[in-house]
Amino acid sequence: MRFNSGLVECARPSPESFTRMSSRYVDAADGTRIAYRVAGEGPPIVLANGLSTSDFFWHHLMPRFTANHRVVSFDYKGHGESDPARTDAGASIPSLCDDMRRVMDAAQVERASFIGFSMGCQVILEAWRQMPTRVAALGLVLGPAGRLFDTALQPGAGPAVRQLLQRTPSRLLPSVFGVARRVTKLPGTFTVGKLLRFYGRSTGTDIDRYLDHFGRLDPQTVAKVALAGGTHDARDVLPTISVPSLVVTGDRDIFAPPRTVGLPMRAAIPGARMLRITDGTHASLFEHPELIGRALDEMMADADF
């Protein structure tokens, strides 16, 4: 199959060819063991996941990526196969970016197209701040440039979630996460999630992957990372970006709404492209992978390696 970016024809591997790959490990600055995976050959892509997710969120795009690129993905501290953060500082957005740099070094990737989903947009924008010479392109998918609780959910709901995380004693967080996971298993919850616009056309299999991963998160670390995302702000670097950039936004995304997130980001980044998905929710990586994949291909075709 020929991609719109003009890359050579080749057979696409199955999504499972990536998710079944064995993890490799590297130590973070605070000594936390970080898991990462590498697949494919070609111009490198580095993926930055959303809060509480792992690379299963790229499941539908992975065959497209690995057919013509070397793809590097890693788990944040307390996520997937990475260990819980050993220090509070290790859960900050700059620290997650440093973890990404260490993964790139271990994978012998000097320069790459960075693609971030949700909070991963903050992580890759921090990469532009910390190591711009290693950034060939920026794909900002359904995520903010800063302070994720300011724009997530309905007005007032995001700050309320932040306050809940701040006020809940650390020892109680595992119980809180356990209750949340049990609630998601109740009959009718999948339908309620659609009505609340958490997702649209996502399948039960996609959501099951997320719920399985949610049950393996380290609650204390995830809470720290979430609070760090709530204070981190990379909007100041947007006007300085000088590599091919794409902002993906969805009109039904309640976590990163176009009006307060996607449109201002696109306006602030010189020459940025935009993909606006009319019925796109925050789960558009599951629901619109072909649209998003084509737009990312076109952006990466202009990356300078």
Rounded Cα distance, 104 and 148, in Å:
26
Query: What element of type H or E holds 136?
Result: strand 135-141
* Confidence check: pLDDT of 12 > 60: no
Q: What is the mean pLDDT of the chain?
A: 87
- Each residue of 142-161: pLDDT tens digit? 999 988 888 876 666 767 77
Amino acid at 84: P
Please report the pLDDT score of residue 184 as a whole number: 67
In this predicted model, what pLDDT tens digit does every residue of 73-95 receive, in sequence order? Answer: 999 999 999 999 999 999 999 99
Q: How far is CA 136 from CA 26, 43, 157, 237, 240, in A?
A: 23, 10, 36, 16, 14
Q: By the 8 A CB rule, do 197 and 58 touch?
A: no
pLDDT band with cut points at 50, 70 and 90 for residue 191: low
CA distance 302 to 300: 5
Task: Report the C-alpha gap between 244 and 196 in whole angstroms.
Answer: 34
> Which range has the worst mean pLDDT, 3-7, 11-15, 239-243?
3-7
Instruction: Please tell me which residue, 185 or 259, carries the higher pLDDT value.
Output: 259
d(CA 138, CA 159): 28
CA atoms within 13 A on the CB side of 114: 30
pTM, entire model: 0.87
Task: DSSP for 231-262, please give it.
Answer: H-B-GGGGGG--S-EEEEEETT-SSS-IIIII
